Amino acid sequence: MTGYGDARQASGEIGYQVEIRAVNNRYLKLNTRLPDGFSGLEPVVEKVVRETISRGTITVTIKRTVGQTGTEFSFDPEVLESYLKQWDQLRESMHQLPVLNAGDLLQLPGVVVEPDESGFDMERAWAQIEPVLREALQKFDAFRKHEGESMSDDLRSQIAKISEQVKTVSERAPLVVTQYRDRILERVRSLLEDTDVELQASDVLREVSQFADRCDINEEIIRLESHLQHFEKFIASEESEGKRLDFLSQEINREVNTIGSKANDVEIAHCVVEMKAAVEKMREVLQNVE
């Protein structure tokens, strides 16, 4: 499910900023971006994130900030000189290369050197980072809840459309066999009108019975109505039901397809088209549901 949340906090000269972004994914895929020397915190960061998020591609970015009077960073002149020499060589062999500015130089790996982290206190850093991370997660969760309300309304709208079409199909289904019987009788009588052959009721009855078996969609209608009821129930649940809703949408789509293949009626076929369109919109929304 898509979402965003961020938070920041400074304690003296050292501060931390946490940013959480999420895009759609059927499963949970977590990417963490931590400052250099903080890789040991990755397991505890992931543990806290999993307490709140269970689905989506999640990117958690943690940045460390230093106050203006801090002396946390320094330059490595040897590395910088090496980059400049290589750049001059490229400019001699290649034309129209842009001129490097100070901002470009600072972005090169190794030019800016962080202090030795051999004495880095991981527990102390985590004590500062954890509340910032949890605040960002709270904002992220609030963002998702707001989006979730909108998606719930959309899903209910599509369910209502499908239910309306199911009602039409249910009312229409018994008439399909009756109309087929009448057409068969009319056609056979027309063909036998100028002959001595007599129409046998048993022959017509057998043909109509076979047709009725082939186009019987009562079971599909019952299952479809049951799926729709369960779908409504899961939407109203306080817990995350994204996977169940996704599964139910597949089952709803299967029943709609079966109705379309068995019904053998133009009006029902039109209803099936409307239901399939609604199901497709549901499945698009469900890609964002956790």
Rounded to two decimals, the pTM is 0.57
Cα 85 vs. chain centroid, distance in angstroms? 49
CA distance 248 to 257: 14
The candidate with the shortest Cα–Cα distance to 165, out of 256, 64, 48, 89, is 256
Q: How far apart are CA 36 and CA 116, in angstroms?
A: 11
**pLDDT of the residue at 132:** 93
User: Which amino acid is present at 125?
Assistant: A
Domain(s) of CATH 3.30.230: residues in the chain: 3-69+118-145
Is 156 within 8 Å of 228 (Cβ atoms)? no
Q: Give the C-alpha separation, 80 to 249, whole Å.
A: 58
pLDDT for 194 = 65
Q: Report the length, in residues, of the chain.
A: 290
CATH topology of domain 3-69+118-145: Ribosomal Protein S5; domain 2 (3.30.230)
Q: What is the pLDDT along the chain (290 residues), one digit of tens a residue?
A: 678 899 988 766 678 899 999 887 777 889 999 987 888 899 999 999 998 888 788 999 999 887 655 455 667 788 878 888 887 777 777 766 666 677 777 677 777 666 554 445 788 889 889 999 999 999 998 888 888 888 889 999 999 999 999 999 888 888 776 766 667 666 666 766 666 666 566 666 676 667 666 777 888 889 999 999 999 998 888 776 778 888 999 999 999 999 888 877 888 889 999 999 999 999 888 877 76
- pLDDT, residue 118, reads 46
pLDDT of residue 208: 62
Task: Please state, as a whole number, how many other Cβ atoms lie within 10 Å of the Cβ of residue 273.
Answer: 13
Distance of CA 153 to the CA centre of its chain: 16
**What is residue 138's predicted lDDT score, i.e. its pLDDT?**
92
> What does the pLDDT read at residue 236?
84
Buried-exposed string 83-118: b where 16+ CB fall within 10 A, e elsewhere: beeebeeeeeeeeeeeeeeeeeeeeeeebbeeeeee
Tell me which amino acid residue 183 is.
R
Spatial distance between the Cα atoms of 55 and 244, rounded to a whole number of angstroms: 13
